[in-house]
A = this chain, B = another copy of it.
């Protein structure tokens, strides 16, 4: 049988007989001619039908019916892509499709978010909704490629865990063969332990947060991009890897998801031609005129430092380092000379926090001390901290959510728009 040609390849086939397969994206019946726009994974193709029997057949096949089209590819400057298919034989590959929940052929998505999410298996076909996931797929490839190139090993750590240790709250409980278990909120402890095995590790996998928040930024399940590396001097090497990763992800999106970027009109971010600027936490407070004892940056502060980075460095990114130790996770490494501040950082992207990272504690005694200091029960953390008795090198890492990255990149108003099948307090299906 003749090889299938994709819509995007049609331009090279003018003059040939071609076989296309795809969905009836749109039908337009005029007096003397009917147009079918065929959609496949590569894009759209225009099919011109004059034969009355085929016109009648098309009448019966609603939008989204899957069809095969065999016809002649003909150059036509008016057709999208410059080539259309004429004199087609059209064969349905499925039953006529029912009317989809939204009109997928419209250039814009005209439906409320709940409608889109309730009918996700079908609504995701809209080119503008699909584009976000093409960007996500490319971004993940960039994440992995960058870290693999830096000699990181990919790991898969368990999502079923014995105790709800990292935060102690907001965990989902599981009935595990009659015993209690929890869904992992992050691979944090595992990736630190595995620095002792592989030195440099990364993981792409789901994490679970039972946060009772119903905002446009929260998901109960998301894809966490995690990296951790050993033999660092301090958090600066971690920031350096983080920068390479984010730059690599943007490059991968540019190269592998060009059509999606164009369709959504995404302006890809830049570091302004140099290294991402780094500003100390206290300096940010000073710059924005906030009191010097603020425990964290407020959204307004992040916006302000984002604007500064854009104005001063032409960079969409800025690192803030040295957050107050008391306000970061207990495993964060303090500055030895001034332990009130930590060797931590956030990467601010266009005025909003994107990535969090830090050097971590690596000495067993330091863990014992900090758990005592924070009033956390040593027993609960025994299996985590015990591993540090056997030589874990100085290390650090970072993590961020894939959906967050994509939503900030595409400017999605709600993170659910860039999540295939989002999970939240109200939503567990489809």
Residues in A lying within 8 Å of B, measured CB to CB: 4, 21, 23-24, 40-41, 64-66, 93-95, 97-98, 100, 120-122, 124-125, 130, 133-134, 136-137, 140-141, 144, 148, 151, 153-163, 172-177, 179, 181, 183, 190, 193-194, 196-200, 205-206, 208, 210, 212, 220-221, 223, 231, 362-365, 383, 387, 389-394, 402, 420-423, 425, 428-430
Contacts and interface: CB of A to CB of B under 8 A. Distances in A.
Given A41-B200, A124-B194, A193-B121, A176 B389 contact: no
Contact of A421 (B95, B157, B220, B425): B157
B137 A155 contact: yes
A162 B423 CA distance: 10
Contacts of A422: 158
Contacts of A425: 177
A389 B212 contact: no
A204 to B, nearest CB: 8
A98 B389 contact: yes
B428 A160 contact: yes
Nearest to A23: B391
Contacts of A65: 391
A280 to B, nearest CB: 23
Which of A93, A137, A156, A392 has its CB near the most chain B CB atoms (within 10 A)? A156
Contacts of A176: 172, 220, 428
Given A41-B199, A158-B206, A173-B174, 16 more contacts: A24-B391, A65-B391, A94-B392, A95-B364, A97-B389, A121-B194, A144-B144, A156-B420, A159-B206, A159-B221, A160-B221, A172-B175, A174-B175, A176-B220, A181-B428, A383-B429
Contacts of A130: 197-198
Contacts of A173: 174-175
B206 A156 contact: yes
B428 A391 contact: no
A69 to B, nearest CB: 12
Nearest to A364: B95
Given A97-B390, A220-B160, A231 B197 contact: no
Contacts of A158: 206, 221, 420-423
A133 B153 contact: yes
State the copy count for this chain. 2
B196 A121 contact: yes
* Minimum-distance CB pairs A-B, first 8: A121-B193, A97-B391, A121-B387, A41-B199, A162-B429, A64-B391, A66-B393, A98-B389
Contacts of A390: 64, 97-98, 100, 121-122
Contacts of A140: 154
A154 B137 contact: yes
Which of A136, A163, A231 has its CB near the most chain B CB atoms (within 10 A)? A231
Nearest to A171: B175
8 contacts: A24-B391, A97-B389, A121-B193, A140-B154, A141-B154, A156-B206, A160-B172, A160-B220
A162 B428 contact: yes
Contact of A95 (B93, B363, B383): B363
Contact of A198 (B23, B41, B223): B41
A242 B154 CA distance: 22
Contacts of A177: 210, 212, 220, 425
Contacts of A387: 121-122, 430
